[in-house]
Amino acid sequence: MPDQPAVSTPQPASAIPWADQLCEAIRQRNSAVCVGLDPRTQQLPISLAPPAGADNAAIAECYRRFSEGIIDAVADLVPVVKPQAAFFEQLGPAGTVALAQVIDHAIDAGLLVVLDAKRNDIGTTAEAYAAAYLGRTSPWHSDALTVSPYLGDDSLDPFVDACDRSAAGIFVLVKTSNPGGRFLQDRRADGEAIYQTVAKWVTQANASRLGRFGYGPVGAVVGATYPEQLAELRAAMPGTLILIPGFGAQGGAAADVAAGFDSRGLGAIVNNSRNILFAYQRPEFAETYGPARWQDAARQATVEMNQQLNEIRSSGG
């Protein structure tokens, strides 16, 4: 019989609310960096690149080894990683097995995991998504999940209920980093932008769920590419953790994300994917590290990002 994939086993559940887990991890690591795990075949170091004509199973194995190598390189430097489900799902069943292995490897390394899958639906389908992804005892073991709000507030309720049961969290898409996000998010209705309406719902959902650091389990995605709106939303959502994409390859810099933090340097995590994962290809690292030392390059890029963010965090944003 062919070898069967390893069966994923339930991870220990935490009684500590998600927001408190994340804030404590940020303090312990002295880092607000979230490393995005977005493996891409064309950018893998040559030692991990799949051979020409490789099937999806072989590529998935390369993605697993690469992602776990990144985790090993940065685990003591950051509080959280964010696997992007799409890069694994495009490889079919083998890719989803690899994704599950990567999540468990991150957990074993002492990291929190935000699964970037942008799920949602209505009714029992939303309940099924929540049961699948939220909490260490869920099949996917992820601590938090990105969620779309555009099916309405009733579609979000099952995810919030799952957060209550599982000490998990969600990050609702409020103001995304892509230029096209304004097509819907900036449209006005009843005197306010759609993203402002979503932000109000997020704030209300957290109101009765604030933990010891003053944050609830319902987070918000707000892009670094919109620093003015980030400042606006930080003020409008004082009890909301913010996941900030768009740093690095998309053009966001430390100054652009400063407004996302509270006076304690908490309240936000800043995602960086390509500029860390493939740092060995960046001009400033290529000569020193190159493909053979891709993990060292990723670690150094993370150290430098920590330094950049900690300067603004220590100044109270």
pLDDT tens track for 48-74: 999 999 999 999 999 999 999 999 999
- Name, in order, each residue with C-beta under 8 angstroms of 242's C-beta and a sequence gap of 6 or more: 219, 220, 221, 222, 230, 233, 234, 260, 267, 268, 269
Lowest mean pLDDT, pick from 56-60, 139-143, 287-291: 287-291
Longest dimension (CA), the chain: 63
**One-letter amino acid for residue 94 of the chain:** A
Nearest CA to 257 out of 116, 249, 248 is that of: 248
What's the whole-number average pLDDT of the chain? 94
Taking the C-alpha atoms of residue 266 and residue 259, their distance in angstroms, rounded to an integer, is 11
Tokens of 276: 């860390």
Residue 8: CA atoms inside 13 Å, Cβ hemisphere, count?
23
Work out the average pLDDT over 103-124: 97
**Dihedral angle sign, alpha carbons of residues 128, 129, 130, 136:** positive
Give me the long-range contacts of 89-94 (CB less than 8 A, separation at least 24): 91/56, 91/57, 91/59, 91/60, 91/63, 92/56, 94/56, 94/57, 94/59, 94/60, 94/61
Work out the average pLDDT over 178-191: 90
Percent of the chain with pLDDT over 70: 94
Work out the average pLDDT over 19-45: 97
SS3 content of the chain, % helix, strand, coil (to 5): 50, 15, 35
Q: Which of 82, 118, 175, 200 is catalytic?
A: 118
CATH match for 18-314 among 3.40.630.30, 3.40.640.10, 3.20.20.70, 3.90.1210.10: 3.20.20.70
pLDDT of residue 110 exceeding 90: yes
pLDDT of residue 245 exceeding 80: yes
Work out the average pLDDT over 31-49: 97
pLDDT of residue 4 exceeding 50: no
Residue 63 near residue 39, CB atoms below 8 Å: yes
Does 118 participate in catalysis according to the annotation? yes
Report pTM.
0.94
* Per-residue confidence (pLDDT) for residue 316, from 0 to 100: 60
Work out the average pLDDT over 257-271: 96
Strand, coil or helix: what is 252? strand
Nearest CA to 217 out of 164, 146, 165, 142 is that of: 164
Taking the C-alpha atoms of residue 4 and residue 132, their distance in angstroms, rounded to an integer, is 21
* Per-residue confidence (pLDDT) for residue 253, from 0 to 100: 84
